[in-house]
Amino acid sequence: MFVSQRSRPIVRLVAWVSGLALAGGGAVAAHGIHQRWWPVSMTMTPTTATIMTPTTATTKASFASSAENPGAGAAKAVKPQVLSLSPQARKNLGLVAKPARLQSFWRSVLIPGEVADRPGFSDRGVTSPAVGVVSRIHAFPGDTVRAGQRLFTLRVFSEYLQNTQSELFRATRETELTQEQIQRLSDVAKSGAIAEAKIIELRNHLRRQSALMQACRQDLLTRGLSPEQIERVTQGEFVSTIEVTAPPAMESTSDGSSDAPTAPRGTAAATAAATAAATAATALEVEALAVELGQQVQAGQLLAKLSNHQALFVVGHAFKQEAAFLERAAAERRPITVEFAEDNDTDWPELDQVLEIRHLSNAIDPMSRTFDVFIPLANQSRGYTKDGESFLVWRFRPGQRARLHVPVEQYQDIFVLPAAAVVREGPEAFVFRQNGDLFDRRPVQIVHEDRRVAVIANDGSVTPGMYLAQSAAASLNRVLKAQQAGGEQPGLHVHADGSVHAAH
């Protein structure tokens, strides 16, 4: 076909555009074929030669071996969860195994608290019985005193006390004179020399003087004078100084129950506990002095503060939403577990006392928004002697922090282990069963756990009588992983059913 010289550029342009269109159409078609057939080719099994990598060859050999020997395949499929520890390693970890047993357990809530003095029983104030000057101090802070022991000597400046002594002495002399006069006039009155009314008047006067003497004696007793001092006053020896002594000890608590721990009667422990309790009950410690030597004091002024920490309170601080179960725990007399901070129970006898809630506070603290829970606590004490003086040391002290575990829900037929006996890996939890020198890791279901214990469900993973490690579960788990990573396996073999046993 003839093409003119002028039309040649146009023909070349048309040919170029047509070629470009054909090329684009071919690319689109190739892409569509690729999208349609590529997923199918990826899922098809090659029917011709297959490239065998070492891993593929090993896997095929393993499956072939499993098909020929099912037992061997099962043994290779199981990943042993067993580790071996030497006796020295178990001692280094402090590892102890105990048989598991089914039991009941109370789930508890934790309430912070502290030890506090029991009002009316722990602290006692000593006051001045009259106006005077402190002339001598016999006991100082830290000293242990008994009931009736001297604390202060006061030089009396009380005009009232001096007048009372004068009235007692005057009434005593008047009584003696009246009695002598009645004896002289009795015979004369019988003869009719004097009227009988005179004798009756003298006897009435004698009764008035006796009443006055009794009132003066009682007043002087309340002012701190002893019966011996009062007897000397009747003889004309007026008292110018007063001895202020320690008050008597409290006999029992306000609710009529004894706070002292009890032991079976007739045993040596009961006798020792009773003796220690009686000694501690009568002991008072001088906590603080409120006056100085030579200071003038008024009647009723505080001289010293004494303390006896045998009867205490454990005071818990709970929020209002916890009031319901605390009320049930108090009404049902549920025993409360108390953890005392900074308390070494190995240095003291076992606290043989059931701790129960006595009462709940009906007021909420405006700052902390909590209310108080009160639990009576019988303290333990021991004494020592130094330089001829006795001192008393108490186990629990006011201000000591405590944690109250109040039971709220009960579980039945479960296993209770220490918290250190369980280790977690994500959602999984494991315990370790001891079998001779081997420790087998077993998965378990945790029903409840806190900082002290872990409650394990009775789902067959643990059976009664199975010896379980009671601590160091995290350390055992690290040792197991290290042995698996290093290719070390303890002397054991795996059976076809998946159970692991020591080699024999």
> Which pairing describes strands 428-435 and 438-443: parallel, antiparallel, or unpaired?
antiparallel
- Residue 292 belongs to some domain of the structure: no
Q: Please give the average per-residue pLDDT across 414-424, as a whole number.
A: 94
> Which pairing describes strands 371-378 and 359-360: parallel, antiparallel, or unpaired?
antiparallel
Instruction: Identify the pLDDT of residue 1.
Output: 45
Beta bridge partners of 311: 378
Residue that is last in its domain, among 408, 431, 447: 408
Q: Note whether 373 and 361 are within 8 A (CB).
A: yes
Q: Please give the average per-residue pLDDT across 119-136, as a whole number.
A: 90
CB atoms within 10 A of CB 450: 13
Predicted model pTM: 0.61
The pLDDT confidence band at residue 277, using thresholds 50, 70 and 90, is: low
Instruction: Identify the pLDDT of residue 491.
Output: 54
Pair 193, 212 in one domain = yes
- Residue 460 belongs to some domain of the structure: yes
Q: How far is CA 135 from CA 113, 162, 299, in A?
A: 43, 18, 15
Instruction: Identify the pLDDT of residue 187.
Output: 73
- Residue 147 belongs to some domain of the structure: yes
The lowest-confidence range among 1-10, 140-149, 383-392, 423-432 is 1-10
- Residue 465 belongs to some domain of the structure: yes
Q: From start to end of 128-220, where are the E strands? A: 132-137, 144-146, 150-156
- Residue 256 belongs to some domain of the structure: no
The lowest-confidence range among 93-107, 261-275, 343-357 is 261-275
The pLDDT confidence band at residue 148, using thresholds 50, 70 and 90, is: confident
Count of domains in the chain? 5
Pair 139, 207 in one domain = yes
Read off the pLDDT of residues 55-81 as tens digits, 9 standing for 90 and up. Answer: 333 333 333 333 344 444 444 444 558
Q: Please give the average per-residue pLDDT across 312-328, as a whole number.
A: 94
**Distance between CA atoms of residues 207 and 218, nearest Å:** 17
Residue that is last in its domain, among 374, 408, 442: 408
The pLDDT confidence band at residue 49, using thresholds 50, 70 and 90, is: very low
Instruction: Identify the pLDDT of residue 262.
Output: 43
Pair 142, 269 in one domain = yes
The pLDDT confidence band at residue 24, using thresholds 50, 70 and 90, is: low
Pair 93, 180 in one domain = no
Amino acid in the structure at residue 70: P
Pair 336, 275 in one domain = no
DSSP H or E stretch at residue 110: strand 103-117
Which residue, 224, 239, 235, is CA-closest to 169?
Answer: 235
Pair 131, 231 in one domain = yes
Q: Transcribe 387-440 into DSSP letters.
A: TTEEEEEESS-TT-EEEEEEEEEEEEEEEEEEGGG-EEETTEEEEEEEETTEEE
Pair 439, 361 in one domain = no
- Residue 255 belongs to some domain of the structure: no
Instruction: Count the helix, strand and coil residues of the chain and give each as a percent rounded to the nearest 5.
Output: 35, 30, 35
The pLDDT confidence band at residue 161, using thresholds 50, 70 and 90, is: confident
**Distance between CA atoms of residues 500 and 347, nearest Å:** 45
Range of the domain at 69: 46-77
- Residue 291 belongs to some domain of the structure: no
- Residue 447 belongs to some domain of the structure: yes
The pLDDT confidence band at residue 342, using thresholds 50, 70 and 90, is: confident
Pair 39, 64 in one domain = no
Which residue, 324, 379, 381, is CA-closest to 355?
Answer: 379
The domain that holds 92 is classified in CATH as 2.40.420.20
Pair 362, 348 in one domain = yes
Q: Please give the average per-residue pLDDT across 305-322, as a whole number.
A: 93
The domain that holds 309 is classified in CATH as 2.40.30.170
Read off the pLDDT of residues 203-256 as tens digits, 9 standing for 90 and up. Answer: 888 889 889 999 999 988 887 788 888 888 888 888 888 889 898 866 544 443
Q: What is the mean pLDDT of the chain?
A: 78
Pair 427, 312 in one domain = no
Pair 359, 498 in one domain = no
Residue that is last in its domain, among 349, 379, 408: 408
Pair 328, 424 in one domain = no
Tokens of residue 105, six digits: 């357990």
